Structure 1
Amino acid sequence: MTTSSIEHKMALVTGAGAGIGAEVARRLADAGARLLLVDKDTAALNALRRQIGDHRALCLPIDVTDIAAISDAIQGLSDAQRPDILVNAVGGDANSIPLADLDETYLETSVRHNLTTAFTMTRLCAPAMRRRRWGRIVNFASIAGRTYSYFSNAAYVAAKAAVIGLTKQTAYELAADGVCVNAVAHGPIATDRIQAAWAKHSPERRRNITERIPIGRLGTVDEAAAIVIHLCSQEAGYTTGTVIDINGGLFI
């Protein structure tokens, strides 16, 4: 990938305050993009902005589940600030909960956090991309949306499966206008959040988990972010509606 394919593009990353989202933002900045950083953690956003360079990034300290707030923020952007690239990185659920202990409230929360956020951001950002006849949207699905989950729960699996459906339909509708929409389906990645959950497991459970992964370890944040950058590039212009699996062979 040539950095010139991303240079000067405006990229909006949700969930940019930590984990894979933060690393994606750093890599986009390194490739020359300007950044709109979205996260409800203001302190984390400001720290990331300082890393990237204050002149390269604008912070939007908003909880993207607040539809009215994020709608107002996007509508308040100038044409030059409207994103060419959208990375919907917010989401996740590391809680292994059996079906018997779930209820509809938990399902609604998981859908709002993982699916509705991606739908809302796509709906708000796609019109400017269509006018420019160029755009890249990358949704964070999960191995949980591809098959069952050993690590999470039915509500999360349902929400991430729906993200894949959203990806395919919007890819179909936006393709003729030069907007490519893809999803990445990460397996267990050693983000700070996952490592915190990992530390609570017994050595036997950790061993049981890693033995299920053919590569025999958790993925790194660098490995998780790298493919996202490619999907944001000019070179990914013939790739749309796909789901890229990043899971160490856990789902083949």
Structure 2
Amino acid sequence: MRLQDKVALVTGAAQGLGRAIATAMAQDGADVVICDIQEQKLHDVAREIEALGRRCLPVVCDVSSPTEVASMFATAAERFGTVHILVNNAAKVPTRPADEERRNKHYAYVTTPMPRQAVGVTSSLTEDDWLRWWDVNANGVFYCTQEALKYMVPQQYGRIINISSVAGISTASMHSPGYSASKAAVASLTKTVALDVAGAGVYVNAIACGGVLTPPFEEYLEHASDEQRQNLYQMIPAGRLGRPEEYASLAVYLATENHYLVGQVISPNGGVVI
């Protein structure tokens, strides 16, 4: 029970990776604050955590709103006294039909012999395609981090784990430049904040996830052709997507006191980036 007597706040915890991380934190002894905009799924996760014998506070919160974020942390502090661990997981991911079309074009281009040419991704983007990532993926991380530090710095202890992506450190998601850029911002913010607050006992690190078998990816695979699925797996040396539980175990480790990691961007990705 490495997280006994600790309070963890996990954003985007209603499903997928956030759900796995929140549950893993509870299994390792933490009481957990979970937030999302999907209220019913959020309460389902809260019941799972309480069944493990841990306390859980579900909060409906849009992390792109600094007002809602401040209210969430105040509610968490009122219930548990403080917050020791923050996992900035909430994010938008490429799931629109146009996103899938660009993704399939990208996978085919890098895995199938064909003449070299411009793929046409960047030139096809609209202003919305570019801007829609930033409020949640980048601004939300900043707002939550800023609120968390109000508790962590005075208590001289904290752990912040930012969920970035292999897309932010490579060309693995060339099909979505806006998403990739927002996740690169998370990786960069991780390093600058880490340098700022490490002296106060607050360690900030990031996980640059490879492909995660979450509901959006499961839906993509369900509708993809055999060729499109083959193209995806061909890009991953491990030959499969990562399971949420595999990433969650790393998040738990970064939440503990048993490491010397500060400002690191760690990328479990099945060998996509080595």
TM-score bracket, shorter-length normalisation: over 0.9
Q: Which residue of 1 aligns with 2:263?
A: 241
TM-score by length of 1: 0.93
- What SS does the corresponding residue of 2:258 show, helix, strand or coil? helix
What is the CA-CA distance between 1:79 and the residue it aligns to? 8.3
Q: Which residue of 2 aligns with 1:78?
A: 78
The 5-angstrom pairing of residues 30-109 of structure 1 reads 30-53=27-50, 56-76=55-75, 77-78=77-78, 80-94=80-94, 95-96=99-100, 97=102, 98-109=121-132
Q: Which residue of 2 aligns with 1:131?
A: 154
- What SS does the corresponding residue of 1:137 show, helix, strand or coil? strand
The 5-angstrom pairing of residues 193-204 of structure 1 reads 193-204=216-227
Unmatched segments (≥5 aa) in structure 1: none
The 5-angstrom pairing of residues 1-252 of structure 1 reads 3=1, 5-53=2-50, 56-76=55-75, 77-78=77-78, 80-94=80-94, 95-96=99-100, 97=102, 98-150=121-173, 152-236=175-259, 238-252=260-274
**CA deviations over 1:69-117 (Å, ceiling 9, x no partner):** 2222323433843310000011142335422222333322201121111
**2: CA distance, partners of 1:151 / 1:194:** 17
What is the CA-CA distance between 1:151 and the residue it aligns to? 6.7
What is the CA-CA distance between 1:221 and the residue it aligns to? 1.3
Structure 1 runs (4+) deviating above 6 angstroms are none
**1: CA distance, partners of 2:215 / 2:128:** 27
**1: CA distance, partners of 2:173 / 2:180:** 10
**1: CA distance, partners of 2:245 / 2:92:** 18
**2: CA distance, partners of 1:120 / 1:88:** 10
Amino acid at match of 2:210: G
Amino acid at match of 1:45: L
Q: Between the two proteins, what is the percent identity of the paired residues?
A: 31
**CA deviations over 1:7-28 (Å, ceiling 9, x no partner):** 1101000000000110111111
**2: CA distance, partners of 1:219 / 1:52:** 23
Unmatched segments (≥5 aa) in structure 2: 103-120
**CA deviations over 1:175-218 (Å, ceiling 9, x no partner):** 00000000001111111111101222211111011111111111
Please say if residues 93 and 152 of structure 1, whose CA atoms lie closer than 8 Å, have aligned partners that are also in contact: no
Once the two structures are overlaid, the 10-residue window that deviates more, 17-26 or 216-225, is 216-225
Once the two structures are overlaid, the 10-residue window that deviates more, 88-97 or 227-236, is 88-97
Once the two structures are overlaid, the 10-residue window that deviates more, 35-44 or 192-201, is 192-201
**2: CA distance, partners of 1:79 / 1:240:** 29
What is the CA-CA distance between 1:35 and the residue it aligns to? 0.7
- What SS does the corresponding residue of 1:234 show, helix, strand or coil? coil
Amino acid at match of 2:43: N
Amino acid at match of 2:40: A
What is the CA-CA distance between 1:226 and the residue it aligns to? 1.1
Q: Which residue of 1 aligns with 2:109?
A: none
Q: Which residue of 1 aligns with 2:110?
A: none
User: What is the RMSD computed on CA atoms of the aligned residues?
Assistant: 1.6
Once the two structures are overlaid, the 10-residue window that deviates more, 23-32 or 88-97, is 88-97
Amino acid at match of 1:179: V
What is the CA-CA distance between 1:233 and the residue it aligns to? 0.5
**CA deviations over 1:41-83 (Å, ceiling 9, x no partner):** 1101111111111761011111212222222232343384331
Q: Based on CA coordinates, which of the two structures has the bigger radius of gyration?
A: 2
What is the CA-CA distance between 1:152 and the residue it aligns to? 4.1
Once the two structures are overlaid, the 10-residue window that deviates more, 145-154 or 16-25, is 145-154
